[in-house]
Amino acid sequence: MKDFTDLHSHSTYSLLDAFGTPKQIVLRAQSLQRKALAITDHGSISGWIQFGKACSEAEIKPIFGYEAYAVDSLAEMFLNKQRKKNHITLLAESDEGYRNLLKVATLAYDNFYYFPTIDWNLLCENSEGIIVLSGCWSSKLQRLLANGEQEEAEKWAVMMKDVFKDRFFLETQHYDLHMQTFDKLKVLSERTAIPIVLTCDPHYQTPDQAYIQEILHAIRDKRTFEAEKIIEKAFQWESQQLFDYVSEKFDYDWDRVFSTTAEIAERCSAKMQTGSFPSFISDSNLSGRDLLLSECKKGIERYGLKGKGKRYNDRFKRELEVIEEKGYVDYILIAADLIRWAKENGTLVGSGRGSSAGSLICYLLGITSLDPIEHDLLFERFIDVTRTDPPDIDTDFDALRRDLVKEYAKQKYGADKVCDIATFAKFKGKNSLDEIGKVYKIPRNKIEIVKRYLIERSGGDMRVELTIQDTFDIAPEAKEVAEEYPAVLDACVLEGQLRHLAVHAAGVLISTRPLDEVIALYKRDDRVISSFEMRDASSLGLIKVDFLGLDELSIQREIFEMAGREMLDIYKIPLDDLETLQAFKNVDVQGIFQYVGDSTKSVLRQLPYVDFEQLIACLTLSKPGPAHSGSATRYIAKMRGSGNVGSFDWHPILAEITSKTFGQIIYQEQIIRILREFANFSVTDANTCRVLIAKSKGEQEFHRYYPIFEREVKDKISTEQAKHLWDSIKVFGRYAFNRSHAASYAMVGYWSMYMKTHYADEFYVCKLNHEAKKEEKLRLLMDAAKKGYEILPPLLGVSGATWAIEGEKKLRAALTEIDGIGEKTAVKMIEEGYSCREDFQNKKVKGVTVRALKALETAQGFQGDIPKEDFFGIHKYDILDILAPERVKSEDIRDWDKSYFIVTAGRFVEMNYKDIFEERASRGQSTEGIKNPDKAKYAMLLLEDETDRCLVHVDRYLFDRIGSDVWKAYNEQMFVVVSGVKVDGWRMVRAREIALYANHQEES
Ligand SMILES: [Zn+2]
Ligand SMILES: [Zn+2]
């Protein structure tokens, strides 16, 4: 028997049809000792990069393929609304074939009708370097053979052979159906001298996974699992088994066929095509380096940094060296140019999100707005010399104007060299459970039981996660569900598989070569997107710029414009404005970007004074990590001058590194500095250690660096001290935060407060106009009311389509605040000059609906201040009747300063068990006893009411009685009314009674 190679196989990129990531399919091939493997996903090449990488790790030859959807004629397809497509298997033989496949995949998306589709003409026009296998059971050839149209089949095969020459093969598969047409195929092969090739078309990897494909199909077709629909034998076969199997089915020279697969694999030599970093386009004839230098010079003058001394000089030189060596000069120039253009053209740009804030050169070029030396931000966080992937310049743009910047990039670099980026949604835990629940008809409440134990994290949050499997392992209730409904366990296999294609919210790719020569381009909702996801694309040498849209920046631009100031003045706002800092000190943070959270407020309340440094710290100290590890408490105690526990200032170098943070380690930058400046670690090692500490499972590897540490510090400190310091680095490093990121966001938050302080009218108006959530709007209104603003109701003839200032300290509501009146209708009424009810009878205007009229009529009663009904639809004073604590007077409600007995209402947004669990788990402590919240003895919940948040403590006696209600309220986000006793000095209630209300439909 000869070697067999799978020339036709599917991965999870054949969305909801096949099971197995590119890596998983390669691992299976490796276990079968394959020398080569092809990937041929349906209408998609998106798995190629990961497949290529997995193959090179496994030392298997990758064959880049594509199973196309094809019709005889695209024109006819569109004319006749032809949904039915033929499949055909295409493989890249050479680099040219690879590029042609990219082209074919791109053109298929240009002709999208239910599927990305091609026709024979299109394929033949781009035939060079492509090997064609005639296709699976859904191919044109097999259809004709099955229908007995032998002549037609031969005609088509000959046509293909004429074009593709020795690169065309007749494909058969081991399935029963193919065996039925095999004699016809044999005849065809003999008459045309086109060789036969066998493929298995695996859609999953091992025989026992067949049911998973059926699950995927059931999800795709929105139906339940049907065992009889399972497609068997569609796995990666072991060669000998396959040989025996087909030999038994049909007597043929299978040895010959097997060698054909190996020969084809041998011929395929296409490699991944890479782009190269685009060059910056400019009118000047300076080189990239000189241009960078001249731009930096301008920056030095602009910021008055001339003669700032050695620190700036050294830093500049070092950054330049790294940037040049790594080849990022053009990348940085491109980013700087985009940002410069944005700013000059009325688009407010954030201060530079994330690590780019650590670069002096980025600051000089205007990419970021904070002096990294003054603010202790490290360059190493920006360009990690240990890594090959390009640095991230993530930039927040005014959300309303972001697309203009993208357009500028297209104009400058060419529309064919700029595109949006694809992203694939994956099955996550909760989502997998929901789908499995539907597929197997498992009762919803059972699924909910399992779901509530899951802990999902998103976007770089490194804290402990609980996967579905963990859930079944640790939670007896979940286990019980699994015992009753074993099918629920199938959710585990779905986790991490792909679901659907989407467009990345912010990323844009820029290339020097036309993009369709490096990647295929898909079309989605009229947008051109890359076939590869961000990480895959950037590994091909394309650059990615994140154009994040931030509403906050649109609001701030509008506030400044409304106040008659230049948008560019925002960058000149002084960071030591006393009124602004005082407002932070007063925790006047309603509507302030990044500072509205309850934990942020709590930190602000405790700080003895506030300056910009404290604002950076505040964003960090309010994160769950520093709160749990106690560094927040110690920071504040030290700042207040009480307590010196756990400080790092016992050595001069450490004291210097922690001088701004009262001896505490709260930033990742401090970890790097200690390792570098105190223990002489190389940049590489320091960075590696920082990453290891942050990982929940990196501890062991981190400790491998201890001997180096010990050796380097032994002249400075004792062995005990070294050991102690090392452990502390580990403990505090885990929760340390990226200072660059915090500083950038503190700045945008600071701008926000500056505006609230100096342009309050404009602040409230713009905030109210942008705020879509009714709850948030009410909070803003209450905040304004507290400041003495009068809130005027929407009034026909007076109100505009947006909120407005009407005389001193008077805010007039927009007509759109009336339910049922949208912006269009409001504008119409204003344009037509409606001022009273009669106008509706007299003027016959199209576009103003009956619904709007009704709404307006109802609103006649809406006079004066905020409506009596609260936003949950329950009358505030009714709450007293419900709970009837005779001691409570209505004035007591939510008056935290005066009353002893409290009634408050809202929704539980957090339940304690998760926090306790994760804190313990991340410290490696036992989670025994808290793994079952239903058996918890008490609960601590976070209640969000209409103005703030407070803690609700449910003690063991009450919990005993209403524990399950509390869970229900939390899980279903029900509205609750809590009455109880206030705890001194805290926003906390010891609950006496909790009442649940069914969810009211909130209007949007
Ligand atoms: Zn197929
Ligand atoms: Zn297939």
- What does DSSP assign to residue 293? H
Residue 819 to residue 91: CA distance in whole angstroms: 58
CB-CB contact of 900 with 981 (8 Å): yes
Closest residue by Cα to residue 774 from 871, 863, 866: 871
Q: Are strands 168-173 and 196-199 parallel, antiparallel or unpaired?
A: parallel
Which residues make Cβ contacts (< 8 Å) with residue 897, sequence separation at least 6? none
CA dist list (Å): 758 to 91, 583, 592, 703: 65, 11, 14, 52
Q: How many residues are present in the chain?
A: 1004
Which residues make Cβ contacts (< 8 Å) with residue 723, sequence separation at least 6? none
* CA of 203, nearest ligand number: 2
Distance 489 CA to ligand 1 centre (A): 29
Distance 86 CA to ligand 2 centre (A): 11
Distance 90 CA to ligand 1 centre (A): 11
pLDDT of residue 912: 64
Residue 107 to residue 121: CA distance in whole angstroms: 12
CB-CB contact of 122 with 74 (8 Å): yes
Q: What angle do CA 954, 958, 964 make, to 5 degrees?
A: 85
Distance 136 CA to ligand 1 centre (A): 5
Residue 339 to residue 334: CA distance in whole angstroms: 9
Which strand ranges, in their side-by-side order, compose the sheet holding 790-792?
790-792, 810-812, 804-805
Residue with token string 């991490």: 496
* pTM for the model: 0.74
* CA of 86, nearest ligand number: 1
Residue 186 to residue 293: CA distance in whole angstroms: 70
Distance 87 CA to ligand 1 centre (A): 5
Residue 358 to residue 282: CA distance in whole angstroms: 26
Token duo for residue 613: 């440094």
Distance 87 CA to ligand 2 centre (A): 8
Distance 159 CA to ligand 1 centre (A): 21
* CA of 40, nearest ligand number: 2
* CA of 66, nearest ligand number: 2
CB-CB contact of 780 with 764 (8 Å): yes
Distance 8 CA to ligand 1 centre (A): 9
Residue 432 to residue 294: CA distance in whole angstroms: 54
Distance 358 CA to ligand 1 centre (A): 51
* CA of 137, nearest ligand number: 1
pLDDT of residue 320: 94
Residue 324 to residue 317: CA distance in whole angstroms: 11
Distance 504 CA to ligand 2 centre (A): 28
Residue 681 to residue 676: CA distance in whole angstroms: 5
Distance 68 CA to ligand 2 centre (A): 9
> For 590-607, what is each residue's pLDDT tens digit?
999 999 887 888 889 889
Q: Which regions of the chain are under pLDDT 50?
A: 459-463, 860-897, 931, 935, 1000-1004
Distance 220 CA to ligand 2 centre (A): 17
Neighbours of ion ligand 1 (CB under 5 A): 87, 136, 138
Distance 10 CA to ligand 1 centre (A): 9
* CA of 135, nearest ligand number: 1
**According to the 3-state scheme, what is the secondary structure of 758-770?**
HCHHHHHHHHHHH
**Strand segments (E) across 511-562:** 521-524, 527-533, 543-550
Distance 247 CA to ligand 2 centre (A): 22
Distance 89 CA to ligand 1 centre (A): 8
Distance 495 CA to ligand 2 centre (A): 23
Residue 943 to residue 949: CA distance in whole angstroms: 5
Distance 7 CA to ligand 2 centre (A): 10
Distance 494 CA to ligand 2 centre (A): 21
CA dist list (Å): 559 to 262, 554, 566, 904, 906: 68, 9, 10, 34, 31
Distance 171 CA to ligand 2 centre (A): 11
CB-CB contact of 450 with 682 (8 Å): no
Distance 484 CA to ligand 2 centre (A): 36
Distance 241 CA to ligand 1 centre (A): 23
Token duo for residue 28: 């299976």
Which residues make Cβ contacts (< 8 Å) with residue 110, sequence separation at least 6? 523
487 sits in the region (left: phi over 0; alpha: psi -120 to 50; else beta) called: alpha
CB-CB contact of 619 with 594 (8 Å): yes
* HSE-CB for 237 with a 13 A CA cutoff: 25
**Strand segments (E) across 662-787:** none
> For 794-810, what is each residue's pLDDT tens digit?
777 788 889 999 888 88
Residue 468 to residue 496: CA distance in whole angstroms: 11
Distance 136 CA to ligand 2 centre (A): 6
Closest residue by Cα to residue 31 from 237, 213, 202, 204: 237
CB-CB contact of 92 with 129 (8 Å): yes
Distance 129 CA to ligand 2 centre (A): 21
- Partners of 733 in the β-ladder: none
Which residues make Cβ contacts (< 8 Å) with residue 10, sequence separation at least 6? 17, 18, 20, 25, 39, 40, 41, 42, 67, 201, 202, 203
Q: Please count the other Cβ atoms lying within 10 Å of the Cβ belonging to residue 234.
A: 24
pLDDT of residue 870: 36
Distance 273 CA to ligand 2 centre (A): 24
Handedness of CA 720, 725, 728, 730 (dihedral sign): negative
pLDDT of residue 869: 38
> Cα 679 to chain center, whole Å?
36
Q: Please count the other Cβ atoms lying within 10 Å of the Cβ belonging to residue 336.
A: 23
Q: Which amino acid is at 701?
A: E
Distance 199 CA to ligand 2 centre (A): 9
Distance 61 CA to ligand 2 centre (A): 20
Residue 679 to residue 673: CA distance in whole angstroms: 9
- Partners of 758 in the β-ladder: none
Residue 123 to residue 118: CA distance in whole angstroms: 7
Stated as kind and residue range, the H or E segment containing 733 is helix 719-735
Distance 139 CA to ligand 2 centre (A): 10
* CA of 140, nearest ligand number: 1
Q: Please count the other Cβ atoms lying within 10 Å of the Cβ belonging to residue 318.
A: 12
* CA of 202, nearest ligand number: 2
Distance 175 CA to ligand 1 centre (A): 13
Token duo for residue 581: 């800092």
CA dist list (Å): 781 to 174, 764, 766, 768: 70, 8, 12, 8
Distance 37 CA to ligand 1 centre (A): 17
pLDDT of residue 55: 96
pLDDT of residue 871: 30
Distance 209 CA to ligand 2 centre (A): 17
Which residues make Cβ contacts (< 8 Å) with residue 670, sequence separation at least 6? 657, 658, 661, 736, 739
pLDDT of residue 859: 53
Q: Which residues of 682-707 are buried (b: 16+ CB within 10 A; e: fewer)?
A: ebebbbbbbbbbbeeebeeebeebee
CB-CB contact of 520 with 45 (8 Å): yes
